[in-house]
Amino acid sequence: MFVRKYSAKLGVAGLAAGAVAFAALAPASAAGLNTTLNQGAASTAKPVDNAATDGTGTIVFAGSDTIQYVIADLADAWNKKSVAERTIDGKAYNVLSYNALKDDGTAVTSIGTGWAGIDGTDAATNITTPNGSGPGLQLLGKTDANGGSVISYARSSSAPNIDKSLVDKGSKEATGFPFALDTVVLAVSAKNTTAPAALSDQQVLDIYHGDAKNWSSVGGKAGVIDALQPKSGSGTAKFFAAQIGNLYGTLDQGDPTAINDGSQVVGIPDKYGTDGTPVAEHSGAPLVADVNAVVPISLGRAKVWNATHDANSQIRVIGGFKKQRALWLFARNNATTAGALGQTKVNAGVYADGNVTKKLLANGSGFFCSPEAQAIIAADGFYALSGSACGVPRTTSGDIVPSTGVAPASMFVPNPLLEQAPVVTPPSTTPNAALKAAQAKLKADQAKLKAAKKALKKAKGHKKAVWKKKIVKLNKAIKKDKAAVAAAA
């Protein structure tokens, strides 16, 4: 696993003293919010062929970016266990989790060309890293050139949907194993002074149904509302659309399908900026680019965003509206359903009732439901599921959380981080050292240019050419100085 550190883990004491960043999480075995964004398996990390006879094997996760960091952290924890602890049916398994997106929301590179398939086959072409819950399920249902599976499990922030096949981004041939709860909220830029501190369900519906186009109509100050939603294929977009559809049906007595097309909210943009950049899940970038924008985001990921970005990129979570959903890992049902997809060479251990699945994902015995995993899940900004809910297999459609988006307290383990009101780091009013230095150089070069122009007027003969060259150089220097000032500011 490859990890890029943005900052140290935030301790409770440090945050309480300054009260300028998101409140820290303090589960029993973690010091605070985990702000080390685990980059997961690199594209150069090739899985070990599970048909090998050397006693080693590979488990591969891919899909949703909502849970890419927490699954990568759980993978690291598993991989640190002893060989004996990682051995299942004679093979010591290593876990690889391929991230969906880079931290800036851009696509990652393909996994590679000609890597050994995880189930005894060889892929001849690049394997595109799936970006989102739907694409992850699709890849779970696809075969490589020789009938083998490409990944072991799909990460998903979407609930099971057995009305669609895996290749159509559904879960007909798969079983879902829930392991955590996510909380979806709305956020704006920290520089937005017009959005209210909180929004009711009705006000959120009014915004996303197009009835409220100005913050003053939902309890804020006068200011345009630019409502955005995550890109199509995103599990968060699908979940948020379902919640808006439910609200439309219960509050306005309207037809939910008129506002929820099954994957997104109808009529709401999923791109921003002049170049039409797709709205990535759980990224504050759209809010930084447009101070009037509002977007649904995972509460835990919003906290991590603020903890890993500077004062000018902070976002503000709006209170009131808060909806919960389970987070899932999907396994293929069995050899029969896999065979119907053309997967004739699959490690039986990763089927829903396989021993690998039991050891990793299942209720009671699964590592992802253990106290060690619960602490990692909490530190990464989610609720760990309780012992009665975690890893219970689901083969029917729908979430384990009620359609209201409010989970019963018995379903999850309390997480202090997610119960505390978020605060943000305000932009500094004191010029930083880099800005002062850039401004000083600009001022000095401007003075030199003024003096050079005076000298040019008095110069004669070849001296004129000398001063002209100096003026050209100074103009170039001043252009760079201005850019430096803008960057520092």
Closest CA to 136 of 146, 122, 150, 119: 150
Distance CA 8, CA 429 (A): 25
Q: Give the CA diameter of the chain.
A: 93
Sign of CA dihedral 189, 191, 197, 200: negative
State the CB neighbour count (10 A cutoff) for residue 161. Answer: 22
Mean pLDDT value of segment 431-456:
84
Distance CA 237, CA 239 (A): 6
E strands, 153-292, in order: 153-156, 174-189, 198-199, 226-227, 271-272, 277-278
The band of 316, judged by pLDDT with boundaries at 50, 70 and 90, is very high
Give the pLDDT of residue 251: 92
Look up the pTM and report it: 0.78
Give the pLDDT of residue 489: 56
Sequence-ordered list of residues with C-beta below 8 angstroms from that of 396, at least 6 positions apart, any chain:
160, 162
User: If you average pLDDT over every residue of the chain, what do you get?
Assistant: 85
Q: Do the strands 315-332 and 198-199 form a parallel or antiparallel pair, or are they unpaired?
A: parallel
Give Cα 371 distance to the centre of its chain. 24
Q: Give ∠ CA 284-288-289 in degrees, rounded to 5.
A: 120
Contact status, residue 48 vs residue 22, Cβ threshold 8 Å: no
Distance CA 249, CA 380 (A): 34
Give Cα 268 distance to the centre of its chain. 20
Q: Do the strands 198-199 and 383-384 form a parallel or antiparallel pair, or are they unpaired?
A: unpaired
Structure confidence by residue, pLDDT tens digits, 149-189:
788 999 999 999 999 999 999 999 999 999 999 999 999 99
Structure confidence by residue, pLDDT tens digits, 196-234:
999 999 999 999 999 999 999 999 999 999 999 999 888
Contact status, residue 174 vs residue 352, Cβ threshold 8 Å: yes
Number of helical (H) and strand (E) elements in the chain, helices listed first = 14, 14
Give the pLDDT of residue 480: 85
The band of 315, judged by pLDDT with boundaries at 50, 70 and 90, is very high
Residues in a beta bridge with 327: 180
| Higher local confidence (pLDDT), 233 or 451 | 451
Domain extent listing, the chain: 3-177+327-398, 182-324, 433-488
Residues composing the chain: 489
**What are the Cα distances from residue 295, in Å, to 95, 99, 198, 264?**
33, 22, 14, 13
Classify domain 182-324 at the CATH superfamily level: Periplasmic binding protein-like II (3.40.190.10)
Lowest average pLDDT, out of 16-20, 65-69, 233-237, 474-478, goes to 16-20
Phi, psi of 399, deg, nearest 5 = -85, 160
Q: Which of 29-33, 60-64, 483-487 has the highest mean pLDDT?
A: 60-64
